[in-house]
Every structure is written in structure tokens, then in C-alpha cells.
Structure 1
Amino acid sequence: MSAVIATHSLHKRFGDVHAVRGIDLRVERGCVYGLIGPNGAGKTTVLRMLLGIMRPSSGGISVLGASPTTDRPQLRRRIGYLPGELNLGERTSGAALLKHLAELSGPVAPGRIEGLAERLDLDLSRPVRSLSKGNRQKLGLIQAFMHSPELLILDEPTSGLDPLMQREFLNLVREARDAGQTVLLSSHILSEIQHAADAAAVLSHGSVVAEGEVSSLRPAAVSRVRAVLSEVTAREIRGGLAEPGILSDLQIEPAPGNQLRVQGAFRGRADELVKALSRFTVQELTIEEPDLEESILNLYAQKEQEESA
């Protein structure tokens, strides 16, 4: 497979601020690749350098075999881009705006715009300036996807979308991948990357702290587990959950009905937790989404341990 995106020792400085610190990325053709990290991690800066909107302070970039710095006009027609901050202050209708953008982006198949609008439940006859944030985001997604580009670069693509539309967006991404397109998307939502991407890089403070297949990044994430167990003693819970290392920071409190309320942190595969809990009578169970900041700190700690070893 050939790399659609490749960066080498990519740096970007804004005065005294070192926003991107020596990032190496390789995105293969036909895959969905995620950039994940909290706000300020450097995700948007990396995407803008890939598009030629910003020049790197140092380092190399190749996008679709070309340089974004010198070949930006030619690359524009081969890329679909959704910026993180979408500014569409147009007086015209959504349909008219997309028609104008289609003249810039390249050929759009007949019925493609209307089909995307129907899937995303967007009325294209309304003036753009009257649209809500969510509907503006839908319009941005349509302009990125409509010309079936070789490469899609999407910055926080589900911002403002309701859960139903988020699901439809994930379907669009999967269809693009199945059609041989390459998708690079950034997000600060861990579950979004887990559901959409084949591989990902975790960014923090302008550096990559972990990268690889999404499944390989999952064990580093920490979930909070809350459960109500019956017909069990605190000693049995500790022996089944804490001592084998299934749950850390274990807390056990009395609950109504002679039950026990259990809380703890879980890192690993869900199968391990399910097997451990199967020994008990579980009345309630909640597993909270891993906290991204905590996950990144754990990835940092793992990296430091590997280097010291």
C-alpha cells in the first residue's frame, strides 16, 4: 500500500509557542486514520499544514504524492476538507452555495448533493445564514464528500450533530473507505475514533504519545465502573475484582436491600471485566466512557516505562 499522507519531523512554531513538535505520520491509502487529543494538542495545526494553509517551521510533508506548499491548487480538487471552525455567512441558499463550491472542487455526480442532503436531513433551499450550527455542519460535510475525493480531511466532523446524524456520518466514512478513499479525521472524542478509525495517533502538547491500530490503543484507556451486587460480601468482591487486578481504586459501600455498591477504575478488554463479574449477581452495571486526559497520561506513563526498561 502507498502512503497518501507522510510527514517527517514536522514542526510548527508561533513565536515562542511550539505547537507541533517533530510529528511523523504515515496514512495508507484506503484507510480511516484518526488524530485524537484534547483541545490545544496540535491536531488542527497539523491538518492545516497538510492542506498548505500553513507552512511548517521545519520538516517534510507529502500529500497524495505532492507538496501542499507548492502544489496546493492541484491538490485542492483531490481533497475534501471540513474545517473545525466552519464560517458560512452566506445570504444564498445551501443549494446555490454547494453548486458554486462544486465548480471549484471538481465534478460532482448528478444527484449526489441531493442524496447527501436527504441522508443528513438538510433542507438546501434555506438561506445558509439562517441555519443552526448542526445544519451548517451538515452543509460542510456535504461539500467535503460531494465530489468523492481521493482524500478526506475532517476536523472535528461531528461537532453540533445529534446522535442520529453522528451515526449517519460514520456510515459515510465507512462507505468512503470501502470505495477506496482515504479519510483523516481529528477528534477529542475517544469513542468517535474507536468507532470510525482503523488506526490513530494520540497527540498531546504537539507530540505523538501513541500510535497504531485503534484496538492497540484501547487497553491504555481507563473506564469508570459502577455496579450494584447482591448476595455477596465485601471480601468476596475484593478477592474477585481487586486482587486479580480487574479493578483498581476499588470502593465498596452498602446499598439498599442488603446489596453492595462497587466503584473502580478499569483498564483492559471488556471480556476480562465481564468474566470477573459473572461470578456475582449483578443488579446494576454502568461503564463510563474513558476520560481522554487520563488516558493520555497513562499513555505517557507507559511510554516512559518502556523507555526506562
Structure 2
Amino acid sequence: MPDLAISATGLTKTFGGVPAVRGIDLAVPAGSIYGILGPNGAGKTTTLRMLLGIIDPDGGERRILGSADPLAVAPLVGYLPEERGLYPGMTGREAIAFMGALRGLSLAEGRRRAVALLADHGLPADRPIRTLSKGMAQLVQLLGTMVHEPRLIVLDEPFSGLDAINQQRLEGLIRAQAAGGATILFSTHVIAHAERLCERIAIIAGGEVRFEGEIATARARLPSRVRLSTKVADGAWHAALPADAVLRDGVWQFQLPQGGIEPLLAALIDAKAGIETLAIEPPSLHEAFVAIVGAEPDPVAEALS
């Protein structure tokens, strides 16, 4: 494992006698884009707040940018909470400069950087926040999270409430920050964003880590799917189809057999079935998520991805 921007071992937290986080371990490589996935109420926000020192864990250990005290390295961290909030009377420039000042940036430098950031993203500098659309205001707050050029950026459900265009813009911002050397940690219950952005993820459900590692490893837990269509509808090759094969709209669909596709391919050729299409499709992260967690993620959120 490379150098870690975040490490956590055995984090626990209980509220009112109800366990919210049950012994979570995390290892976020420096310079990576890392996703924490889980359904609503899984413990994602509580975990992020413990990592950042906003609340203290009941048990376990955490290190942020090499420090056991998250507050000691707070100026090196940018944090976008799930609860959005900007002063509505402030302009975009002043809001970003104010957020930078909270992390040690001078107001003058914050204003200079804010003007450049807003211009780069096609946002007005001098309009009050109250006059901006919800998506524009969220992007202003995100830019304020990054204005002090943090080494670690933590985003809690950053895509929530954004339309498809602004989601795409946010993905671009995240990639750009990572390309500049920052570590990005974000939580989400929209699986598609993690699949596009991350190499490593943690899947949390019921306050526990159900999976931690590379996306490819999570997807490899399930077999690939095969889609097959032939010119000849009937033939001896049918006997080579696996037991789970079903015919839908003229296309056979089934899981890739453990022995591979070669026996079926040989039967198709011998029977002169006339292969029209034969596609082997790996499982999606969404399918792996459902298999690991045992429940569907939010269907509304998935529809917006």
C-alpha cells in the first residue's frame, strides 16, 4: 500500500445507545480518488465527521495526513458537508474568500483566487448567492472548499441535488484536483459516480465495512454475463447452453460458465449456428454493490446518475 492520506482502525460511534458505526477500518492512498459507498443511514457521514475531528469516536484510531489530531491539520483539508450553507447576501467572490479565510488564507488572496475560479467555471463573481440557482450555489461552495489548495478534500454526498450537467462539471473538478496532487475522499449512494471516478472504494452498510478495495475486485465477485444471438434458432448446440440461459427478444442471456465460453463456441461452430452477436459483459459496480450490501441503492439517485 502506498503512503496513506487517511487511515482508520476500529472506529466506533454510538448515539443514544444505538450503534451508528461499528469498527470501521479505512486506508485511503495519498493522491487517490476514494469513494465511500452505502445506502442512506449506513454511517457514511458519521465516519467522515470522526475522521475530520468534528466528532470524536467512542473507540478506534485515525490518522489524517500523518497526524493523529485531525484539527492540527485542518488548514490542509477542504470539507464540503452534506448540509449545504452559504450566506445568501454574500457574492460568490466574497463567499469563497470567506471560506478560504477560515482555512488561513488572507481575504485579499482569497478574493483574487475566487475571481479566477469563478471565471474558469463560468460563474458570476458579483451576484449574491440568493440569486443563483441551487446547482450554481453548490458549485460556489465547492470552489470555496478548494480555494486554499488543500492536500485533502472530503466531500459528503457532493452530487446530491445537482442536475446531470452540474454533476458532470463536479466530476471534472474532482479529477482536476486529483491530477494536481490532492487526495479526494467522497461519500455517495449514487454508484455510477464512484464507478467513473474511483479506483478504490469502501462499501458501508449498517455501520460496518462490507468491502474495501479496488472496484475491479468488487466486480470480480460476480460472474460476467453472456449475450448470444444466432442466425439458426434451433440446433444441437442448445445442449451446450448453461442451465440459467434464458431467451429474451431473440437474445440468449446467461452467466459466463466457470469453464469459459469455448465449449459453447465450439458447439455453435460445429452446428453452423451462424453467430450474429456474442458479447461477454463484466458485472457493473451497481450489481456488485447489491450483492455485497444485500439491498438496492436509492433508485431515485440511480436515475439521476
- Alignment partners' CA distance in 1, 2:65 and 2:229: 55
SS at match of 1:220: coil
1:95/1:224 Cα in 2 relative to 1: closer, same or farther (>3 Å)?
farther
- Is the Cα contact below 8 Å between 2:153 and 2:182 reproduced in 1? yes
Partner of 1:113: 114
1:115-130 equivalence runs, <5 A: 115-130=116-131
Q: Which residue of 2 aligns with 1:298?
A: 291
Shift of 1:206: 0.9
Do the aligned residues in 2 keep the contact of 1:119 with 1:168 (CA within 8 Å)? no
Give the share of equivalent positions with the same residue, in percent. 32
Instruction: Provide the residue aligned with 1:99 in structure 2.
Output: 97
Whether the aligned pair in 1 keeps the contact of 2:93 and 2:111 (CA below 8 Å) is: no
Alpha-carbon distance between aligned partners in 1 of 2:254 and 2:149, rounded to the nearest angstrom: 46
For 2:102, what is the secondary structure of its paired residue? helix
Pair 93,218 (structure 1): closer, same or farther in 2 beyond 3 Å? same
**Displacement after TM superposition at 1:203 (Å):** 0.9
Partner of 2:218, secondary structure, is helix
Task: Tell me what 2:269 maps to.
Answer: none
Partner of 2:58: 57
Partner residue, 1:305? none
Cα deviation code 1:155-207 (max 9, x no counterpart): 12222333333333233222322322111111112221122112111111111
Sort the Cα spacing of 1:163 and 1:111 in 2 relative to 1 into closer, same or farther, 3 A. farther
My pick for the range that moved more, 81-90 or 161-170, is: 161-170
Quick one: distance in 1 between partners of 2:212 and 2:202?
4
2:159 and 2:94 map into 1 onto residues whose CA distance is 23
Deviations 1:244-282 (A, max 9, x none): x8xx5x4324x5xxxx155667899xxx8xx98xx7425
1:18-167 mapped onto 2 (5 Å cutoff)? 18-68=19-69, 72=71, 74-107=72-105, 111-167=112-168
Taking the aligned partners of 2:85 and 2:189, their CA distance within structure 1 comes to: 21
Distance 2:179 2:50 in 1: 27
Q: 2:62 and 2:214 mapped to 1: Cα distance?
A: 22
**Structure 2 stretches of 5 or more lacking a match?**
266-273, 295-305
**Aligned residue for 1:14?**
15
Tell me, yes or no, if the aligned pair for 2:223 and 2:282 is still in contact at 8 Å. no
Q: How far apart in 2 are the matches of 1:195 and 1:27?
A: 17
Structure 2 partner of 1:212: 213
List gaps (5 residues or longer) in structure 1. Answer: 302-309
Secondary structure of the corresponding residue to residue 173 of structure 1: helix
Instruction: Name the Cα RMSD after superposition.
Output: 3.8
Partner of 1:251: 246
* Cα offset, 1:152, TM superposition: 0.4
Larger Rg: 2
Q: TM-score by structure 2 length? A: 0.76
In the other structure, the counterpart of 1:182 is 183
Distance of 2:6 and 2:116 partners within structure 1: 29
Change (3 A) 1:210 1:282: same
Q: Structure 1, residues 98-129: CA drift from partner, whole Å, max 9, x if none? A: 12222112335775323432443322332213
**Number of residues of Structure 1 aligned to a counterpart in Structure 2:** 281
SS at match of 1:149: coil
Report if the CA contact (8 A) 1:93-1:126 is conserved.
yes
Q: CA 1:232–1:156 in structure 2 vs 1: closer, same or farther (change >3 Å)?
A: farther
